[in-house]
Amino acid sequence: MGVMPKWADVVLVPLISLIIAALLSALLILAIGESPVAALKLMIEGTLLRSSGWGYMLYYTTNFIFTGLAVSVAFHAALFNIGGEGQAMMGGLGVALVCLFIPWPHWSFAIIGASLGAAFFGMIWAGLPAYLQAKRGSHIVITTIMFNFIAAGVLNFFLVGALKPKGSMDPATANFPAATHLPTFEDMAGLLGFEKMFRAAPANVSFFLALVACVLVWFLIWRTPLGYEIRAMGKSEPAARYAGIGSVKIIMVAMMISGALSGMMAINTTQGESERLILNFTEGAGFIGIAVALMGRSHPLGVFLAALLFGFLYQGGAELALWTKIPRELIVVIQALVILFTGALTLMVRRPLERLFLSLRRGG
């Protein structure tokens, strides 16, 4: 600490990690017998040069902002919430119950209700492991992993049972009523007079909800007493306790906020896109939140940028799978490399950088 200027720590370390991950992925693409340059070009064309590409990218980004923020809030309290996936699944259940069983007059009310439902269910699903950690000392990483699997079982249970409409074979709920359907980017662009923009893309109004969540999380962490307590607890638990900050309260609150954010991801996928609750709607977004939070250094702005990057990768990866023989799973490899280099192998990136800055300082 203190060897590097802050900007280098915040910008250079993630950037270099990303470059290493990109180079390794390029090697992998070469090994498959495709051209990395052509692949990148294809990804950019399919994502950034078409409005519907943007529509898909921002749809994925919305998910990753929510799950990335969720992991970040827990990171600030030195907790590793690996249960975003399960919390999002439960959030989906909350969204489905709210949308199916309350007669909403308009989507603007429905989204508020669905947010509360999603946040509440996600909160409970993170609150239980938090309670077990705070009161019973069970390791939060293990319990949240277990809760992921339990959530999958619960979701499955409802989708093949009580919530499945009669006579349907699909493990899914009935379609949500039309009044709860969220306006997509296509609808909004149409209202503003831009016809044929974002055609058929799933991005919807919950993207803006994600942006609001970014601002609120920033405000919470750096501008409120609670945020201060969370960070204090994350830096040093004994010091925080000495300062009169109750660790039980902070663990519970931080995890519940984290769970609520994960749960709210379901608004985008369930209410916004599929308009009914389906199995596997989370598609691993809960885990991508880990990569996003690590890459974004747990700062909402960083999370937003990292979520954009991963949104780009996911949409670009779909393009690659469509036009080349590079399967979508390449993106999973990139994601793994990002997690590896920004989270576990940081010293490998940081040590040479620190040495560089030391020698620069001595020289100057």
Partner 1 sequence: MDFLTLLQVLDSSLRLATPLLLACLAGLFSERAGIFDIGLEGKMLAAAFLSAAIAATTGSVWLGLLAGVGASLLLSAIHGLASITLRGDQIISGVAINFLAAGLTVVISQDWFGQGGRTPPLLSGGRFEPLSLPGAVPAKEISQAGPFMQLYSELLSGHSLLVYVALLMVPLTWFVLYKTRFGLRLRAVGENPAAVDTAGISVVGLRYAAVGICGVLCGIAGAYMATALQAGFVKDMSAGRGFIALAALIFAKWRPWYALYACLLFGFLQALALRPDVIEGALGFKVNVQLLDVLPYILTVIILAGFVGKAIPPRAGGEPYVKER
Q: Which residues bind partner 1 (CB under 8 A)?
A: 28, 31-33, 80, 82, 132, 136-139, 141-143, 145-147, 149-150, 152-154, 156-157, 160, 287, 290, 294, 325-327, 329-337, 339-340, 343-348
CB of 181 to partner 1, least distance (A): 30
Minimum CB distance to partner 1, residue 178 (Å): 31
Residue 251 or 337: the one with the smaller Cβ distance to partner 1 is: 337
User: Closest CB to partner 1 among 152 and 188?
Assistant: 152
Residue with tokens 């307590």: 229
Residues 6+ apart with CB under 8 A from 309: 18, 295
> Do 57 and 311 touch, CB atoms closer than 8 A?
yes
Task: Quote the least distance from Cβ 278 to partner 1, whole Å.
Answer: 16
Minimum CB–partner distance for residue 105 and partner 1 (Å): 36
Minimum gap (Å) between residue 324 Cβ and partner 1: 11
Q: What is the C-alpha to C-alpha distance for residues 204 and 301, in angstroms, rounded to an integer? A: 21
- Name the DSSP class of 115: H
Closest by alpha carbon to 201, among 46, 333, 342? 46
8 A C-beta contact, residue 61 and residue 125: no
Q: Which has the closest alpha carbon to 210: 275, 132, 306, 130?
A: 306
Please say which residue, 149 or 222, places its beta carbon nearer to partner 1. Answer: 149
Contacts of 37 (CB under 8 A, 6+ apart): none
Coil, helix or strand for 43? Answer: helix
Q: How far is the CB of 129 from partner 1 (least distance, A)?
A: 8
- The least CB distance from residue 108 to partner 1, in Å, is 36
Closest CB to partner 1 among residues 104, 125: 125
Nearer to partner 1, 162 or 192 (CB): 162
Q: Which is nearer to partner 1, 157 or 219 (CB)?
A: 157
How far apart, in whole angstroms, are the C-alpha atoms of residue 196 and residue 5?
47
CA distance from start to end of the chain: 20
Q: Which is nearer to partner 1, 15 or 348 (CB)?
A: 348
CB 47 within 8 A of CB 319: yes
- Rounded to whole angstroms, the Cα distance separating 195 from 59 reads 19
